[in-house]
Amino acid sequence: MRRVRPLLPWVVWGIAALAYAIAIINRSSLSALGPAAQEHFGIDATTLAAFPVIQLVVYAGLQIPVGMLLDRFGATVLILTGGVLMTLGQVVMATVADVRLAILARVLVGAGDACIFISVMRLLPEWFAIRQLPTVSQLTGLIGQAGQLISVVPLALAVGTFGWTAGFNGIAATAFFVSLVAFFVVRDRPGQGSAFERLTGRLGRLSRTARSLATPPATGVVTVGPPATEMIAAHPIEGMRPLRFWAKARRLLSLPGVRLSYWVHFTSPFAVNVFLLLWGMPFLTGGVGLDPSAARGLLTLTVLSSMFAGLVLGPLSSRFIERRVWINVGITLAIALTWVAIIVWPGPPPLWLVIVLLVVMPLGGPASMIAFEVSRSHTPRSFIGFGTGLINTAGFTASLLTILLVGLVLDLQGAGSPEHYSLGAFKVAFAVQIPFWALGLTMIFIEQRRTRRWMERHGRTLR
């Protein structure tokens, strides 16, 4: 008799992944609305640039605190909290005309966004087998990229057709609806009730009989799970009380595999984040000389490329688990070399090279998901929320620093406003990415060797 596979893990994951897609829509809701936002609030380009920077600072700054809350309260509570914060933020964005309140709205959106992704990643090992996690993780990222795609064109059309208030209230209503569904559906793990069931104190039959897909594979290949907490060196007084922030970070970072995953996430995604969050449209229009409609079309291409990469990289990293870090390194090198070709090209780069950049550069986003697979192999389960938040700060820290440095270098060249943009100034400004790639790749090589020696010393393998 053929064993029936449980459906609930896919339902829980589907709603959680949908919540992540809504978070991406909220995060990117100003990406194609720069002129509309300037007109609505009566602001200059510098003030407009503060919106994504402040939002990114909030997002990155909250990753570790949210990770600690995640370990304490669970993924469901954090997903619902994030949905409520984003809903409030977009309602404020829709209804105010004061730029200070608009910045507060982006702070709320950034705070809510910070709760979602690492909570979704925390759910996965509770519901899926280790061998399935790379593919499910990449599918999660792909669904998130669908949210990015919606924010590039359909949202701009909705705001243009129905107005600023209706467009942003529509985002708020969607976020609230998905949060409401999650309230009844999402569960932290098999045997635990949804938020509704826990609130009412009644555990339904579906929750009581829930089963995970995390069963041993039938192939005879055993995948080694994360290490035990006891494998981390402890300070003598730490066993007597809950770990404080710095003590917890110090213990976790004593594992070379965790440090490796940090640098993997640091190195590959920042180029596409910088491009999509702020500097892509100015580069394509004010630097390369494309008209705005063509530039928007090319930005859509970056999202499609990222989605395709998510479909491919999941099975690849699952099949070649021992080579997954090198897959990330190869993609990072391809991104860096393509950017260098753009920078050193004499005069305007040909359109084919720009298209190559916009196809290759987005691969860094899905490639950064490999960092969470590496982290999952080396982070004890009791630290997983904290560890995921710590790793997720890496790419966004690099992104934030690069966004600020690109703007600074443009200003130093006297090319910091749209009327003074030039291709030469952008080439010099985007060259600030090169030291970040050099640092990240160097640290990956160092920590990869240390991780291999640590695993040999403890008799651990990935399979």
**132 occurs within a structural domain:** yes
Quick one: 107 and 186 in the same domain?
A: yes
Quick one: 311 and 420 in the same domain?
A: yes
Residue 322 backbone phi and psi in degrees, to 5: -75, -15
**218 occurs within a structural domain:** no
Asked if 186 contacts 122 with a C-beta cutoff of 8 angstroms, the reply is: no
pLDDT of residue 238: 43
Quick one: 365 and 426 in the same domain?
A: yes
Residue numbers of the domain that contains 163: 7-209
Half-sphere exposure of 330 (CA within 13 A, CB side): 8
Pick the last residue of a domain from 209, 224, 256. Answer: 209
Quick one: 53 and 150 in the same domain?
A: yes
Q: Provide the 8-state DSSP code for 280.
A: H
Quick one: 140 and 256 in the same domain?
A: no
Quick one: 276 and 423 in the same domain?
A: yes
**223 occurs within a structural domain:** no
Axis-axis angle for helices 370-378, 292-319 (nearest 10): 30
pLDDT of residue 34: 66
**424 occurs within a structural domain:** yes
Pick the last residue of a domain from 166, 184, 209. Answer: 209
> Which has more pLDDT, 91 or 383?
91
Quick one: 340 and 422 in the same domain?
A: yes
Quick one: 280 and 199 in the same domain?
A: no
**168 occurs within a structural domain:** yes
The string of DSSP codes covering 286-331 is IIS---HHHHHHHHHHHHHHHHHHHHHHHHHHHHTGGGHHHHHHHH
Residue-wise pLDDT for 284-332, tens only, equals: 988 998 888 888 788 888 878 888 887 888 778 777 777 889 999 999 9
**35 occurs within a structural domain:** yes
pLDDT of residue 323: 86
Residue carrying the six token digits 């609930």: 8
User: At 382, which amino acid appears?
Assistant: S
Q: What is the CATH number of the domain that holds 127?
A: 1.20.1250.20
Percent of the chain with pLDDT over 70: 89
pLDDT of residue 226: 55
- Mean pLDDT for 157-174 is 87
Quick one: 187 and 275 in the same domain?
A: no
56-85 residues labelled b (16+ CB within 10 A) or e (exposed): bbbbbbbbbebbbbbbeebbbbbbbbbbbb
Quick one: 287 and 170 in the same domain?
A: no
What mean pLDDT, rounded, does the chain reach? 84
DSSP three-state, residue 421: coil
Quick one: 201 and 277 in the same domain?
A: no
Q: How many CB atoms lie under 10 A from the CB of residue 10?
A: 14
Nearest to 253 by CA among 267, 236, 268, 232: 232
**356 occurs within a structural domain:** yes
Residue-wise pLDDT for 243-260, tens only, equals: 566 777 788 888 899 999
Give the best-scoring range by mean pLDDT among 22-36, 289-303, 423-437: 423-437
Q: Which residues contact 205 (CB under 8 A, 6 or more apart)?
A: none
pLDDT of residue 44: 67
> Which has more pLDDT, 51 or 238?
51
Q: Which residues contact 65 (CB under 8 A, 6 or more apart)?
A: 389
- CA 293, CA 152: separation in Å to the nearest integer? 12
Residue-wise pLDDT for 110-121, tens only, equals: 999 999 988 998
- Mean pLDDT for 391-408 is 87
pLDDT of residue 241: 46
Both tokens of 333, joined, read 């090198």
Residue-wise pLDDT for 30-66, tens only, equals: 766 766 787 788 876 667 777 878 888 898 889 888 8
Both tokens of 319, joined, read 């099949």
Both tokens of 289, joined, read 């000389």
**226 occurs within a structural domain:** no
pLDDT of residue 32: 64
Quick one: 24 and 167 in the same domain?
A: yes
Which pLDDT band, with edges at 50, 70 and 90, does 218 fall under? very low
Domain count, the chain: 2
CA-to-CA dists, residue 44 to 16, 49, 59, 254, angstroms: 37, 9, 24, 46
Residue-wise pLDDT for 448-458, tens only, equals: 999 988 888 87
Asked if 160 contacts 49 with a C-beta cutoff of 8 angstroms, the reply is: no
Pick the last residue of a domain from 183, 209, 235. Answer: 209
